[in-house]
Chains A and B, each alone.
Chain A
Amino acid sequence: MAVAQTQTIVPQRDGIQASVVNDLSIQVATVNGSGSQSSNNVLMRSIFQMGIPTSGKNLFPSNIAGLPTWFTIRASKRGYVGCKREVDILIAMNPQTAREDVETLDPGRVVLYEERLKLSGLRDDLIYYPVPFSKLAAEAVRIPRLRKLVANMAYVGSVAEFLGIEMEQVEVAIAKWFKTKQKAIDLNIRIAHMGAQYVRDHLPKRDPYRLERMDKTRGKIIIDGNSACALGAMFGGVTVVTWYPITPASSLGEALTDYLQQYRTDPETGKATFAVVQAEDELAALGMAIGAGWSGARSMTSTSGPGISLMSEFTGLAYFAEIPCVIFDVQRVGPSTGLPTRTAQGDILSLHSLSHGDTAHPVLLPGDMAECFEMSRQAFDLAERLQQPVFVGSDLDLGMNNWMCDPFEYPTEPPDRGKVLTAADLERAGEFARYRDLDGDGIPYRTLPGTEHPLASYFTRGSGHNDSAGYSERPEDYVQLMDRLKRKYDTARELVPQPVIDLRDEAVIGIIAYGSSDSAMEECRDQLLEEYGIEINYLRLRALPLSPALKDFVAVCRRVYVVEQNRDGQMADLIQLELGEAGTKIRKICHYTGLPLDARFVTEQVIAAERPS
């Protein structure tokens, strides 16, 4: 029987031991606001440029400057992009957390640290490399403020030297980061070399970790999910964008604003072919998006959980009045102060039926960067096709972290603007009833304000209307409306992205995951197979409403674990509701620490349930 094989690395005083190549994680612990963003980015890019699959996760506090922050870079020759629980190399720069950071390392790991922190006495089962980073910086730079910023680039040089990261790549990455600022480029390159030189002169290598050139990143890009969503929206032809700042969604609105200004300003007139409004709050943000959607524009807003709560009433109105718009929810942990900068998938139930009364909304769940791009574009098609708000449910892990992926493919299909009648259409038809289901798919036809035709106008209101948009409180009219909206939801079931299913011979256990949780699943399945001999069927959900394919998947499994990042298993609940009796096969695996999901956690949960000792 297979046993859990967690790597144990025994420190050796003088070198020679099995080396660990291209499979490690580096955690950089710094102080928020100390400029470590550039050095961490440079470090990650340097590894990426060596052809080694890389991903980066930023764990940051809800603070502008002063609180601790950690950046974790994973290099994985197998291409795993999820979070790795164990830290192999700690770069300790922050006096506030250094002790605790060291305490939590597994034996045999490396601590590269600012010499002044004097960490080597803490434990004797780690490999310590003290480097006087601040002294090096002081030698290189006179201005104290600058000194603090460049000290960080010194650790890039030092760790590069230890791990075998090519200094040319560090230089390229520095140049890329600082773009046209030649002075900054020169200075940072100099500091990085000083960090490397110090290591060469004073610190013989005593650890097994190495990075070696591969060819697995050629042609790939590194991007964060918020930028990917912003690009998707731009290439989806969005014209009205409204938002209210909130972490972790702000960078979506900001990236989109930048892209639009750059690529959607009419070169002839210098005028904008888009409107971006930073609204006074999320109610107004959605109100504007709805007004624009009603008028026929492709409109969107982006927010996170607290904003979603505020958008509740308007979402219901748009559902009943059947108005298209796209709402991005970059999910984060809970309300108010505390963990707003931590990741979660806790808005699933809210998004599913946001508002009062009977409501149900399509929710797209991108699982990677390509899908952040593609689904963001597609959301506009769906919103206009279905004439209702469509959510894109991303999260902080996807949205704000750096992911490696293939370049996005240019969307070639024409946009689906849905059932909109022009004056000419109305002339031909000779009649128009705004809410009549002519096609049996639950989706009515609409006209846009400004349409020059006597049949065009209608009056838009919430729940109380008949199929000609006349005011009505008649029970039959209401029931008819509700039943049609349900029919429309069933139409949506077929139109939204379908799940990705991977069945394995012999597998009787299934896993269902979605969104950022997918990033841990390949590794988790490999662990279950390689360490425990358990084959796993996998279904990755990509949208609500749930696909009919879900039932068939569960049917071929004995047990199905639904993996998600919230306490109560919100998606598992929806799945169980959907499955009826077969729902008894569903088990919940819930990860709700605020940290990104790691494969080991899921593996352990599955094993605890499947192989109780």
Chain B
Amino acid sequence: MALRTRARKKKPKKTNRIGLSRSAYRGHPSTLCSGCGHDAITNQIIRAFYEIGVNPYSVAKMSGIGCSSKTPAYFMNASHGFNSVHGRMPSVATGTMLANRGLVCIGVSGDGDTASIGLGQFCHLLRRNVPMIYVIENNGVYGLTKGQFSATADDGATLKTGVVNELPAMDCCSLAIEMGCSYVARSFAGDPKQLVALLKGALSHSGTAMLDVISPCVTFNNHPGSTKSYSWAKEHEELLHQIDFIPGFEPIAAVDYPEGEAMDVEMYDGSVIRLRKVDMDYDPMNRREAVRMLHSSAAASELLTGLIYVNPVAKSFLDTLNLCDEPLVSLPHEKVKPGPEILEQVMKDLM
């Protein structure tokens, strides 16, 4: 029996520069609480990787343990992912990048995962400048273990249960600068436009790009008294600048900005991060100024967001180690197993 069909004109699917549609960057459905800041960040990760046209097969998604660390399962199913152990993702990511420098590595962590149990590895990752994006989904609490305070909770913040945090907050951005991190940004899950630009900038960076993203936990830390809630963040956000990202593969639009109104940061791959002035002059390549800004904004209880510090020419760990250009995993066995004459020579020396 013949079916009556009507030829419908298919709308051509929108694709990126490597011919993939956005769905190629999707992951499994999220199992996080609805409204969780982490999901909003996931969306921007998908968008950034899609819009830049990163080959998903070349991506390694890494994480530790926590609600935040579950999210690599919710983006880019076509990429290998590794949900490792609590606080230790930096080392696993480091090993991954040593083995295969051809990969694009993104790690997602939480504030507990990074600033408490994983503090040591976090610091050493930054010192080494391992090429990867490191996103902290910062909600001030341990979501997955049901809402205890984390080390980024502000002094005086309260839990729903009324418990007050009386310890000083750790500022991952100040710490990162101190540790020699070469791309330090802060953003907010409720500010997708800024976040996606910072993620794209991170993709163009040659070393560790650290993004501390305030990501409200709607279940345990979104109440009045919290300093990591949506409403608190919205009320207290102070933009350092407006950020545009111009990828290296696109021509840079010659826009004329009045003197001092915009600043271009050229990244190692030729991309440009354009920072437009909001209400002050700010040079993110000045490390001391960055630290001063962080301190003064913290004292004023502001949530300072934007590209806080960048050094686009910092030497990556792979260069420090003088690694060959070919990924170590692709070296043929002959290249990594010295010949019999070498063993003979070593043996002779021991006789």
- A291 contacts partner chain B, Cβ-Cβ < 8 Å: yes
- B73 contacts partner chain A, Cβ-Cβ < 8 Å: yes
In the complex the two chains form, what is the Cα distance from A242 to B128 in whole Å?
14
Q: Which among A264, A272, A281, A453 is the interface contact of B338 at CB below 8 angstroms?
A: A264
Q: Are A451 and B57 in contact (CB under 8 A)?
A: yes
Q: Which among A285, A286, A449, A452 is the interface contact of B60 at CB below 8 angstroms?
A: A449
Given contacts A239-B331, A280-B121, A294-B92, contact A450 B324 (CB under 8 A): no
In the complex the two chains form, what is the Cα distance from A456 to B55 in whole Å?
13
In the complex the two chains form, what is the Cα distance from A78 to B97 in whole Å?
52
In the complex the two chains form, what is the Cα distance from A288 to B90 in whole Å?
8
Q: Mark B80-101, 1 if CB is under 8 A from A, else 0.
A: 1111110010111111111110
In the complex the two chains form, what is the Cα distance from A460 to B62 in whole Å?
9
Q: Are B351 and A296 in contact (CB under 8 A)?
A: no
Report the nearest B residue to A296, measured CB to CB.
B329
Q: Are B347 and A407 in contact (CB under 8 A)?
A: yes
Q: Which among B57, B83, B321 is the interface contact of A452 at CB below 8 angstroms?
A: B57
Report the nearest A residue to B70, measured CB to CB.
A471
Q: Are B99 and A295 in contact (CB under 8 A)?
A: yes
Q: Are B328 and A297 in contact (CB under 8 A)?
A: yes
Minimum CB–CB distance for B29 against chain A, Å: 11
- B72 contacts partner chain A, Cβ-Cβ < 8 Å: yes
Report 14 cross-chain contacts, Cβ distance below 8 Å, ordered by A residue: A221-B350, A263-B342, A264-B336, A273-B331, A281-B120, A287-B85, A287-B90, A294-B96, A313-B88, A317-B84, A407-B351, A450-B60, A450-B327, A457-B80
Q: Are B99 and A297 in contact (CB under 8 A)?
A: yes
Q: Are A459 and B73 in contact (CB under 8 A)?
A: yes
Q: Mark A63-74, 1 if CB is under 8 A from B, else 0.
A: 000000000000
On chain A, the residues within 8 Å of B123 by CB distance are 280
In the complex the two chains form, what is the Cα distance from A281 to B91 in whole Å?
10
Q: Which among B94, B121, B350 is the interface contact of A283 at CB below 8 angstroms?
A: B121
Q: Interface size of B by Cβ–Cβ distance < 8 Å?
A: 58
Q: Are A235 and B100 in contact (CB under 8 A)?
A: no
Given contacts A237-B337, A292-B95, A449-B60, contact A273 B343 (CB under 8 A): no
- A299 contacts partner chain B, Cβ-Cβ < 8 Å: yes
Q: Are B60 and A237 in contact (CB under 8 A)?
A: no
Minimum CB–CB distance for A45 against chain B, Å: 10
On chain A, the residues within 8 Å of B83 by CB distance are 459-462
Q: Are B85 and A314 in contact (CB under 8 A)?
A: yes
- A240 contacts partner chain B, Cβ-Cβ < 8 Å: yes
Q: Are A449 and B96 in contact (CB under 8 A)?
A: yes
- B102 contacts partner chain A, Cβ-Cβ < 8 Å: yes
Given contacts A273-B324, A287-B91, contact A292 B347 (CB under 8 A): no
- B335 contacts partner chain A, Cβ-Cβ < 8 Å: yes
On chain B, the residues within 8 Å of A269 by CB distance are 324-325
- A414 contacts partner chain B, Cβ-Cβ < 8 Å: yes
In the complex the two chains form, what is the Cα distance from A471 to B83 in whole Å?
11
Minimum CB–CB distance for A548 against chain B, Å: 32
Q: Are A460 and B324 in contact (CB under 8 A)?
A: no
Given contacts A275-B98, A410-B340, A448-B329, contact A288 B92 (CB under 8 A): yes
- B78 contacts partner chain A, Cβ-Cβ < 8 Å: yes
Minimum CB–CB distance for A427 against chain B, Å: 14
Given contacts A273-B324, A284-B124, A314-B88, contact A450 B58 (CB under 8 A): yes
- B77 contacts partner chain A, Cβ-Cβ < 8 Å: yes
Q: Give chain A interface residues in 112-145, CB to chain B under 8 Å.
A: none
Q: Mark B44-87, 1 if CB is under 8 A from A, else 0.
A: 00000000000111111010000000001100011111111100
Given contacts A222-B350, A287-B91, A450-B58, contact A239 B328 (CB under 8 A): yes
Given contacts A264-B338, A283-B91, A457-B81, contact A450 B328 (CB under 8 A): no
- B298 contacts partner chain A, Cβ-Cβ < 8 Å: no
Report the nearest A residue to B345, measured CB to CB.
A263
Q: Mark A401-432, 1 if CB is under 8 A from B, else 0.
A: 00000011010001100000000000000000
Q: Interface size of A by Cβ–Cβ distance < 8 Å?
A: 72
On chain B, the residues within 8 Å of A407 by CB distance are 344, 347, 350-351
Q: Are A272 and B340 in contact (CB under 8 A)?
A: no
Given contacts A283-B88, A451-B57, contact A457 B78 (CB under 8 A): yes
Q: Give chain A interface residues in 225-266, CB to chain B under 8 Å.
A: 231, 234-240, 242, 259, 263-264, 266
Given contacts A288-B92, A288-B98, contact A274 B347 (CB under 8 A): no
- B346 contacts partner chain A, Cβ-Cβ < 8 Å: yes
In the complex the two chains form, what is the Cα distance from A223 to B73 in whole Å?
49
- B333 contacts partner chain A, Cβ-Cβ < 8 Å: yes
Minimum CB–CB distance for A418 against chain B, Å: 13
- B323 contacts partner chain A, Cβ-Cβ < 8 Å: yes
Q: Which among B62, B328, B333, B351 is the interface contact of A220 at CB below 8 angstroms?
A: B351
Q: Are A460 and B91 in contact (CB under 8 A)?
A: no
Report the nearest A residue to B69, measured CB to CB.
A461
Q: Which among A259, A299, A415, A449 is the interface contact of B80 at CB below 8 angstroms?
A: A449
Q: Are A284 and B121 in contact (CB under 8 A)?
A: yes
Report the nearest A residue to B97, measured CB to CB.
A291
Q: Are A454 and B78 in contact (CB under 8 A)?
A: yes
On chain A, the residues within 8 Å of B161 by CB distance are none
- B322 contacts partner chain A, Cβ-Cβ < 8 Å: yes
Q: Choose among B120, B327, B337 the residue with the greatest number of A CB atoms under 10 Å from its CB.
A: B337
Q: Which among A272, A292, A414 is the interface contact of B333 at CB below 8 angstroms?
A: A414
In the complex the two chains form, what is the Cα distance from A448 to B329 in whole Å?
9
Q: Are A292 and B57 in contact (CB under 8 A)?
A: no
On chain A, the residues within 8 Å of B337 by CB distance are 235-237, 415
In the complex the two chains form, what is the Cα distance from A270 to B321 in whole Å?
12
On chain A, the residues within 8 Å of B323 by CB distance are 271-272, 275
A-B CB proximity, top 5 nearest = A291-B95, A287-B91, A297-B99, A288-B95, A449-B80
- A580 contacts partner chain B, Cβ-Cβ < 8 Å: no
Minimum CB–CB distance for B83 against chain A, Å: 4
Given contacts A283-B88, A295-B100, contact A263 B329 (CB under 8 A): no
- A389 contacts partner chain B, Cβ-Cβ < 8 Å: no
On chain A, the residues within 8 Å of B91 by CB distance are 279, 283-288, 290-291
On chain A, the residues within 8 Å of B159 by CB distance are none
- A289 contacts partner chain B, Cβ-Cβ < 8 Å: yes
- A293 contacts partner chain B, Cβ-Cβ < 8 Å: yes
- A219 contacts partner chain B, Cβ-Cβ < 8 Å: yes
- B103 contacts partner chain A, Cβ-Cβ < 8 Å: yes
**Further 10 A-B residue pairs, CB within 8 A, beyond A283-B91, A287-B121, A290-B95:** A221-B351, A240-B98, A287-B94, A290-B91, A291-B93, A291-B94, A292-B99, A294-B96, A299-B99, A449-B100
Q: Which among B88, B96, B324, B333 is the interface contact of A284 at CB below 8 angstroms?
A: B88
Q: Mark B156-167, 1 if CB is under 8 A from A, else 0.
A: 000000000000
In the complex the two chains form, what is the Cα distance from A254 to B22 in whole Å?
48
Q: Which among A221, A271, A289 is the interface contact of B347 at CB below 8 angstroms?
A: A221
In the complex the two chains form, what is the Cα distance from A313 to B328 in whole Å?
27
Q: Are B100 and A280 in contact (CB under 8 A)?
A: no
Minimum CB–CB distance for B337 against chain A, Å: 5
On chain B, the residues within 8 Å of A271 by CB distance are 322-325
Q: Are A272 and B80 in contact (CB under 8 A)?
A: no
Q: Choose among A263, A271, A281, A284 the residue with the greatest number of B CB atoms under 10 Å from its CB.
A: A284
Q: Are B96 and A295 in contact (CB under 8 A)?
A: yes
Given contacts A263-B342, A289-B95, A459-B72, contact A275 B321 (CB under 8 A): yes
On chain B, the residues within 8 Å of A242 by CB distance are 95
Q: Which among B58, B84, B99, B331 is the interface contact of A287 at CB below 8 angstroms?
A: B84
- A579 contacts partner chain B, Cβ-Cβ < 8 Å: no
In the complex the two chains form, what is the Cα distance from A173 to B340 in whole Å?
26
Q: Which among A236, A284, A286, A296 is the interface contact of B99 at CB below 8 angstroms?
A: A296
